[in-house]
Amino acid sequence: MTSCTQAPTVAIQPNDRLTLVREAFRLEWLTIGWMTVEAVVAIASGLAAGSLVLFAFGLDSVIELASAGVLMWRLIVELRHGQKFSETAERIASRVAGTLLILLAAYAVVAGIWRLWTATGEEFSWPGFVLALVAIPAMRYLARRKLAIAEKIGSRALRADAMEAIACGWLSFVVVVTLTFQWLVGAWWIDSVGSLAIVYFLVKEGREALSGQECASCCD
């Protein structure tokens, strides 16, 4: 992956900045609403169908919910007290989220290998399939808007949150492909292989959260 540098903050008027911060705040409300639905449906569908892919997808949504909550707090601070704010909470939240994502990736690897070893399959889940299919355009929209606003107001936290939305979009794609092959072919090993494919995106997202790397061009 090519390296990226953080985009410089664009000089904007205070009123324009306030408008952008309020839009970002609304986007986070949308994120929290969607991630709540995504987490509940994905985890419930994963448990009901015995699908490791859906279960890991749901746990990732829980982690993104926590990230969105912290970012909303950061936006509220600026709306109430102006542009100056402490970034300590942002750094701590990023490190915690990154660690959780790495642990989730480790779980997916161990569980996926174990299922391949024991030849354990799963059932196809229509709720999980529809959820992942809708999540692809939803995450693309949220990511692009957050990245655009983050560049204008110079928010590292908002850019990192947008990167999580991008990762979630790719996770959704993996889930759709995995469940589609499962439906068409019915092979017992597809869910385990799909869960191992998810690991790449979980590790990538976790490492970026831990290191604070940002790349606005990654959504292109």
207, 190, 45: which is closest to 130 by C-alpha? Answer: 45
CA distance 11 to 170: 33
pLDDT at residue 31, as a whole number: 93
Q: Tell me if the pTM is above 0.85.
A: no
CATH classification at residue 176 = 1.20.1510
Residue 219, domain member (yes or no)? no
**pLDDT tens digits along 50-74:** 888 888 889 889 888 887 887 888 7
pLDDT score of 45 more than 50: yes
Give the chain's domain count.
Answer: 1
In the numeric block, the tokens 């746990």 are attached to 59
CA distance 210 to 197: 21
Residue 8, domain member (yes or no)? no
Residue 220, domain member (yes or no)? no
Residue 87, domain member (yes or no)? yes
Q: Sign of the CA dihedral 193, 58, 126, 50? A: positive
Domain of residue 55 covers 14-210
59, 62, 61, 66: which is closest to 106 by C-alpha? Answer: 59
